[in-house]
Amino acid sequence: MVKRELIGKGMTAEVYAWGQDQVLKRYYDWVQKEWIKHEWCLAKAVNDAGAPSPRPIEMIEVDGMLGLLYERIAGTSMLSLMQASPQKAVGFSEEMAQLHIEVHRCSGAGLLRQKDVLVQAISESATILLGNMERVCTYLDALPEGGQLCHGDFHPDNIMLTDTSSVVIDWNTATNGQPSCDVARTSLMLRSPFVSEIAGEGIKTVQYEMHRAYIEKYTALSGISLAEVEAWMLPVAAARLRENIPGEQDWLLGIIEEILQGTSKTYLFG
């Protein structure tokens, strides 16, 4: 490949500048073509649904490997701005809630069913759940279906802020489902003990306030209640175990145990 500016690197791909207003997401050699094609289809579906997402331009082959061309978002991640100015993190959290509502106004038609994705993740966490897998899946089955676009990994580092707009990136986990489930997952991520490890001391000092601001703004503007979000906490926590995030397993198992035993009245601010 002609030498180009490397502007990002992730677990599955590198991102290069491509002309003035595009980027190339070039996958590593070990990534299967089926996965790349799946991401392309997801990106198209999400953007066509009207979500605030980067516009997918073309799937191309570069040096024998598939890559995806996207519009270039000339902005900064919300997490970076929070880290630079922790005193503004609460305000950014309220903006995040408003953006999440914008996502949830879009249809999720044609995407994977949210409950199916959760069941798969919970099944892969069966050993850690110590016999509670079937109980959690039965609980999940009774929860209401949904038909809205859900991001599945909505957090400050997946939000890019430009001079004129906010854009959500990394839609690989997008599903068709219930917004309250999506909010429950964001709630877990904002409260995670891992946040302190990756975001720094500045964010750690305002972590609780960030979470409260996000939840209170989302519920106030969306009409979705705290109880509706809390109803999804059990399957979402069980599914997250599969990700093996450092420092989270005991914390998540504690939440799951409290819910199953009914020993706590609220989980959003615990």
CA distances for 207 relative to 66, 123, 200, 252, angstroms? 39, 31, 10, 17
126 and 237 part of one domain: yes
| 27 pLDDT higher than 60 | yes
Q: Are residues 48 and 141 in the same domain?
A: no
The tens digit of pLDDT for each residue in 138-181 reads 999 999 999 999 999 999 999 999 999 999 999 999 999 999 99
In a domain, 268, yes or no: no
- With b meaning 16 or more CB within 10 Å and e meaning fewer, what string describes 24-36? bbbbeeebeeeeb
Between CA 9 and CA 76 the distance in angstroms is 15
61 shares its domain with 80: no
Claim to verify: residue 89 and residue 129 sit in the same structural domain? yes
pLDDT 10s digits, 222-243 = 999 999 999 999 999 999 999 9
Please state the rounded mean pLDDT for residues 197-204: 75
- Residue 207: CB atoms within 10 A of its CB come to 19
If you search the block for the tokens 């979500």, which residue do you land on? 51
pLDDT for 235-266, tens place per residue?
Answer: 999 999 999 999 999 999 999 999 999 865 56
Residue 89 and residue 163 in one domain: yes
Q: What is residue 143's DSSP assignment?
A: S
Amino acid letter at 211?
A: H
Same domain, 40 and 101: no
Q: Examine the domain organization and report whether 17 and 142 are in the same domain.
A: no
Q: Which two tokens stand for residue 51?
A: 């979500």
The answer on 193 and 66 residing in a single domain is no
Alpha helix positions (H), 24-142: 33-48, 78-84, 89-104, 114-124, 126-129, 133-141
| Domain end point (choices 30, 49, 71) | 71
Distances (CA, A) of 1 to 4, 16, 37: 8, 11, 21
Q: Are residues 10 and 129 in the same domain?
A: no
Q: Which residues contact 156 (CB under 8 A, 6 or more apart)?
A: 77, 78, 79, 82, 92, 96
Residue-wise pLDDT for 91-100, tens only, equals 999 999 999 9
pLDDT for the residue 203: 85
Q: Considering the domain boundaries, does residue 178 fall inside one?
A: yes
Is 184 contained in some domain?
yes
Q: Which domain holds residue 110?
A: 76-261
Q: Is the pLDDT of residue 270 over 60?
A: no
pLDDT given for residue 194 in this prediction? 85
Q: What is the CATH classification number for the domain harbouring 33?
A: 3.30.200.20
The model's pLDDT over 110-123, given as tens digits with 9 standing for 90+, comes to 999 999 999 999 99
> Comparing 195 with 235, which gets the higher pLDDT?
235
Sign of CA dihedral 167, 173, 179, 182: negative
- Are residues 147 and 87 both part of a single domain? yes
Helices (H), the chain: 33-48, 78-84, 89-104, 114-124, 126-129, 133-141, 179-191, 194-199, 201-222, 226-230, 233-240, 249-261
> Residue 268: what pLDDT?
66
* The total number of structural domains that make up the chain: 2
**Tell me, what's the pLDDT at 146?**
95
11 and 102 housed in the same domain: no
3-state SS, residue 2: coil
If we measure between CA atoms, which residue out of 158, 207, 206 comes closest to residue 182? 158
Residue 174, Ramachandran bin (φ over 0: left; ψ between -120 and 50: alpha; else beta): beta
36-74 confidence digits (pLDDT tens): 999 999 999 999 999 999 999 999 988 888 899 999 998
Domain at 248, CATH number: 3.90.1200.10
Residue that finishes a domain, picked among 55, 71, 87: 71
Listed residues 56, 71, 86: the one ending a domain: 71
- Pair of tokens at residue 250: 């005991």
Asked if residue 152 belongs to a domain, the reply is: yes
Rounded CA-CA distance 48/64 in Å is: 28
What Rg do the C-alpha atoms of the chain give, in angstroms?
19
Say yes or no: 55 and 105 in one domain.
Answer: no
Q: What is the mean pLDDT of the chain?
A: 92
Is 247:197 a contact under the CB 8 Å cutoff?
yes
pLDDT bucket at 187, cuts 50 / 70 / 90? very high
Q: Is the model's pLDDT at 198 over the cut of 80? A: no
Q: Which residues have C-beta within 8 Å of that of residue 133, sequence separation ≥ 6?
A: 122, 123, 125, 126, 238
